[in-house]
Amino acid sequence: MNWEDLNKDNIEEIKELYIEYIQENKNDNYVANLMTFEEFIKELTKCDRCGKIILESEVKSNGIQLYCNCCYDDLYME
């Protein structure tokens, strides 16, 4: 994602993800090593099925589309 992808519908969701990232990593890293908000949003993408915003490190793919864990499990684990 980038700055142009932010809008009033997804900014709250992205801020919550960033707060979770800070809380999970603040004890393991020096503050200087944590990503800034701008760096963080570059690590985000959307699930092609449900539109949920997720970290690229959590993406599952079928080679063509990107899925969050829930959508991937729904499609491929049945």
Please tell me the chain's helix, strand, coil percentages from 3-state DSSP, rounded to the nearest 5: 50, 15, 40
Domain count of the fold of the chain: 1
SS3 annotation, 21-46: HHHHHCCCCCHHHCCCHHHHHHCEEE
**43-72, pLDDT tens digit by residue?**
999 989 998 899 988 888 888 889 988 888
State the pLDDT at residue 40.
Answer: 93
Domain that holds residue 23: 3-76
At residue 39, the pLDDT reads: 93
Where does the pLDDT of residue 75 fall: very low under 50, low under 70, confident under 90, or very high at 90 and above? confident
Q: What is the pLDDT of residues 11-42, one digit of tens each?
A: 999 999 999 999 888 887 677 788 999 999 99
